[in-house]
Each structure stands twice: as structure tokens, then as C-alpha cells.
Amino acid sequence: MIKICFAASSGGHLEQLMMLKKLMKKYNSFVLTEKTLYTVENEDIKTYYLQQVNRKEKTFFLRMAANFIYTLYIWIKEKPDIVISTGVLSTIPVCMLAKIFRKKIIYIESFAKVSSPTETGKLIYKFADQFYVQWQQMTDIYPKAIYKGGIY
């Protein structure tokens, strides 16, 4: 059976990812996100929490390193076949591991990005197996992207 890792940072990125809950329940899945003051009700979907990462903080590299180590632990434990991500920083390690282990990466660029790319999107676009945008005009920025409309 296919196992899918659904990865997103907290806030709007996680909210967008949770729009795929029917897909999560259809497959053997787990969610990888950041630990924040609020929680998301995932019912029966296994969820792992990473440290929240902000590239402007002094502890950025330390937190990214810690997240990478914990993500590697989760990767070894769960052995996903596919990573579906809506970004941002905390999801880069799991996308890197998917590439290293030759697994599929499906990246969904943020609904909030109508005319400019996210930094994570620009990075993951280079090696994602499928890259989705939620606005038609974003295919000008990402020519190989797949437009299928918003996930809302």
C-alpha cells in the first residue's frame, strides 16, 4: 500500500494541506507540520510536529538542523512513498529526503501567491515530480507547473 507524507508549515500552509483530508484518509498517510500554540484536529491521521522555523531568527540554522534530524527519524520510521507539500521552510528536509531516496514529491504552491513565487517553491520546483499552482498566471513563473485551480 502506498504511504503518503503530507507536509506543511503551520498556519495557512497547513490549512491548505488539510483541504486534502479525503486523500489523506484514502491512503496510509501521516502529517508533518510545525508545533505551534494552536493545534489542528486530525482525527485519526497520525501527525508529527517539528520546531517552527523563521529564517530571520538567530537560531534558524540550529532549528533547521534539529528538524532535519527529527525528519530523518520520521522518514526511517514511516518510509513514505510520496511527499505532498504546501511548503514552507520546515518542509524542506522531508522534500530533500524524498529526493535522496528517489521517492515522489508533489508540491502545491500557496494559494496566496498570485503573481510571485515563494522561496520554498522556487527551490522545490527544480526537483519536484509534480508542481501545482493554484492560479493560471503562475504558470508564467513556473512553466512546467500544472494548473488545476484552487484546492479550496
pLDDT digits (tens, 9 = 90+) for 31-82: 999 987 666 666 678 999 998 888 788 888 998 999 999 999 999 999 999 9
Q: How many domains does the chain have?
A: 1
Q: 152 lies in a domain?
A: no
Q: 9 lies in a domain?
A: yes
Q: 62 lies in a domain?
A: yes
d(CA 121, CA 142): 9
Across the range 102-124, mean pLDDT stands at 94
Domain that holds residue 9: 3-147
Cell numbers 485519526: residue: 44
Q: 30 lies in a domain?
A: yes
The closest alpha carbon to 119, from 42, 55, 35, belongs to 55
Q: 116 lies in a domain?
A: yes
Which CATH number belongs to the domain containing residue 18 in this structure?
A: 3.40.50.2000
Instruction: Check the CA dihedral 26-125-121-65 and report its sign.
Output: positive
Task: State the pLDDT at residue 52.
Answer: 86
Q: 72 lies in a domain?
A: yes
